[in-house]
Amino acid sequence: MTTNDTSVRVLDKGFVRLVDFMGGDQGVVDAARVSYGGTSKGPEADKKLISYLLKHSHMTPFEHAVFKYHVSAPIFVARQWFRHRFAAYNEISFRYTEVKDYFYMPSIWRCQDKKNKQGSTATAALDHDALNAMFQSQIDAALNTYKKMLSLGVAREMARMVLPVNLYTEFYWTVNARSLMNFVSLRADAHAQWEIQQYGEALARSFKELMPWTYEAFVRDAWKGDNPLIAADRASLRDAPVSIR
């Protein structure tokens, strides 16, 4: 749910918060038309231009719309996220700050997909209560050991080594619309890990709100993934003309 501070809750304790935004749909249009000294030709023509650019993979104009987000995500999600290198990152440092009890706890446990070595599937065969208890015990032990090490004088930069990767981290992420579309294409897709899919969906909603013309063209002309929310958006546009709503 979006709050007044533009934060969207993700997973149990995470969030995506828009910090700043520039360019938008009009920034893309202006960047595209400057190549031949042109200017805006009105909303209808500008919207059609965005659709043309995406349909024919003319992507550099989309680099002139820029988003800055404040993100809270488990470390294992962040490590996947940071593979998207065409962006700027600044992350909280656990060398400088003391870790708090801020860990991701899954609502359900998934089993290994027998066909996809990288994937997982829902199952009723797992004892979720037992797994939750086992997991919580491990987290408590790691956090207690971390605090004990600090009390004994161990530096934060070393004590942090005992902590698991479900610890939440926070970072600022500045990304242009071209790279954001790449992120959504890969991370909101059903083949991505479920946890990062939730962030992909949150970013897709933000993208839709801030750049509606580009988002519409993206889902109609460029999206090739598998996601029910985005698929619903695409279905609603499939037979719609490219025109101002």
If asked whether residues 86 and 12 sit together in one domain, one would say yes
User: Where in 62-103 does DSSP place strands (E)?
Assistant: 66-74, 88-91
Q: How big is the chain, counted in residues? A: 245
pTM comes to 0.90
Whole-number Å distance between alpha carbons of 214 and 233: 13
User: Could you count the other beta carbons within 10 Å of the beta carbon of residue 222?
Assistant: 16
pLDDT digits (tens, 9 = 90+) for 170-199: 999 999 999 999 999 999 999 999 999 999
Whole-number Å distance between alpha carbons of 178 and 163: 35
If asked whether residues 197 and 85 sit together in one domain, one would say yes
Q: Residue 140: phi, psi to the nearest 5? A: -60, -40
* Structural domain range at position 128: 110-162
If asked whether residues 157 and 171 sit together in one domain, one would say no
137 pLDDT higher than 90:
yes
Q: How many domains does the chain have?
A: 2
pLDDT of residue 38: 74
Query: Is 100 a member of any domain?
Result: no
Whole-number Å distance between alpha carbons of 214 and 212: 6
pLDDT digits (tens, 9 = 90+) for 37-62: 777 788 999 999 999 999 999 999 99
Whole-number mean pLDDT of the chain?
91
Active-site choice (9, 83, 85, 187): 187
At 244, the pLDDT band (50, 70, 90 cuts) reads very low
Identify whether 187 is a catalytic site residue.
Answer: yes
3 pLDDT higher than 60:
no
